Amino acid sequence: MTGTAAAATPVRELRTGRAPEYSGLPRWVVIPAALGSAFVVLPLLALTSRVDWSRFGELLTSSSSLAALRLSLQTSTMATLACLVFGVPMALVLARQRFPGRNVVRSLALLPLVLPPVVGGIALLYTFGRRGLLGQTMVVLGVPIAFSTAAVVLAQTFVALPFLVVSLEGTLRAVGQRYETVAATLGAPPSTVLRRITLPLVLPGLASAAVLSFARALGEFGATITFAGSLQGVTRTLPLEIYLQQVDDPDAAIALSLVLVVVAVIVTVLTANYAHRALR
């Protein structure tokens, strides 16, 4: 590099305010990356191109569509709250406690991530169904679960809980324990450390995990139809309504699918934003 070029580089850096970034990647990597992006985006564009915009409002405001959307939002919210109640302690124990068999417990907790949702629905049916492991006792107590709105919430919680656990556990490991250790050294009890130090530190990551769980619950299909059935206004969530409308009214199925796509985009943006804040 000549003296003039060497002198020009710092000048350019001063003008832009930052040094040029080096990716370390060969240029050919861009080609498969672009193809992968197209593989994801093109089907969504195809779906959008098939929307009957002249009937869009009518399709979304039909009685069955509104009932399914309302039920999905209600059950997904309850499932997310259940994930927070059970998932936050699970993530804390897996991230902070050392005990024999921790890896086995983690694998079992994350098992719904890799199980087919239908298998999860069958497992729930044989646990909480009328003849299930716990279902018989619950029927005697007058609290039947299967094929009810409660069954929808259980199915959604079953598939969404691992998303919160794995995401929050990663955040807990990333922030470390130095502030918690200092607070404990100064005499703060564990509950105070958890409330005043740990949870505020991981709040962006916790919010991101909750949003992911909500999105997974909102899109759940297999476990819901297997364990809860498809009763309009009771267990027929938005994915089930889309599946049924695909046969009777494809335009309505496309319009409702677009609603889920929009929700997924919003969730992705919010999750990326929270994750960026958690890593700052």
Measured between alpha carbons, how far is 49 from 40 in angstroms, rounded to an integer? 15
Q: Are 49 and 176 in contact (CB under 8 A)?
A: no
Residues 6+ apart with CB under 8 A from 246: 253
Instruction: Read off the pLDDT of residues 25-36 as tens digits, 9 standing for 90 and up.
Output: 888 999 999 999
pLDDT at residue 265, rounded to an integer: 82
Q: In this structure, are residues 263 and 277 in contact, taking their beta carbons and an 8 Å threshold?
A: no
Structural tokens at position 212: 């992911």
- Structural domains of the chain, ranges and CATH numbers in brackets: 54-279 (1.10.3720.10)
Residue 21 to residues 13, 18, 122, Cα–Cα distance (Å)? 11, 9, 51
Question: What is the pLDDT, as a whole number, of residue 222?
Answer: 92
CB-based contacts of 194, cutoff 8 Å, min separation 6: 92
The separation between the first and the last C-alpha atoms of the chain, rounded to the nearest angstrom, is: 36
- Does pLDDT of 132 surpass 90? no
Check residue 17 and give its pLDDT.
Answer: 56
Span 53-73, average pLDDT: 87
Please tell me the least confidently modeled range out of 39-48, 58-67, 76-85. 58-67
- For 161, the enclosing helix (H) or strand (E) is helix 149-175
Q: Which two tokens stand for residue 11?
A: 């000048």
pLDDT at 235: 94
**Contact of 239 with 73, CB cutoff 8 Å:** no
- Position 223, amino acid: A
Highest mean pLDDT among 43-47, 78-82, 274-278: 78-82
**Rounded Cα gap, residues 42 and 46, in angstroms:** 6
- Please, which pLDDT band fits residue 1 given cuts at 50, 70 and 90? very low
Q: Are 227 and 125 contacting, i.e. CB atoms less than 8 angstroms apart?
A: yes
- Percent of the chain, pLDDT > 70? 88
Q: Tell how far CA 50 is from the center of its chain.
A: 27
Q: What is the mean pLDDT of the chain?
A: 86
pLDDT number for residue 278: 53
Contact 118, 226 (CB under 8 A): yes
Band of the pLDDT at 276, cuts 50, 70, 90?
low
Instruction: Quote the pLDDT of residue 59.
Output: 83
Question: Distance between CA 180 and CA 203 in Å, rounded?
Answer: 15
pLDDT (tens digit, 9 = 90+) per residue, 250-264? 888 998 898 888 888
**Using CB atoms within 10 A of its CB, is residue 229 exposed (0-12), middle (13-18) or buried (19+)?**
middle
Res 280: pLDDT: 59
Quote the pLDDT of residue 24. Answer: 75
Whole-angstrom CA distances from 23 to 20, 26, 127 are 10, 9, 51
For residue 13, the model assigns a pLDDT of 47
Ranges 13-17, 21-25, 46-50, 154-158: which has the least confidence: 13-17
Q: Indicate the range of 6-10, 148-152, 190-194 predicted with least confidence.
A: 6-10
* Residue carrying the six token digits 């960026």: 276
Judged by phi (left if over 0) then psi (alpha if -120 to 50, else beta), residue 26 lies in beta
Tell me the pLDDT tens digit for each residue of 79-119. Answer: 999 999 999 999 999 999 888 988 999 999 899 999 999 99
C-alpha to C-alpha distances, 149 to 78, 220, 230, 251, nearest whole angstrom: 11, 14, 10, 27
Q: What tens digit of pLDDT does each residue of 233-256 get?
A: 899 999 999 999 888 888 889 988
Dihedral sign for Cα 169, 171, 176, 181, please.
Answer: negative
Q: Residue 138 — very low, low, confident or very high, per pLDDT cuts 50/70/90?
A: confident
Predicted model pTM: 0.84
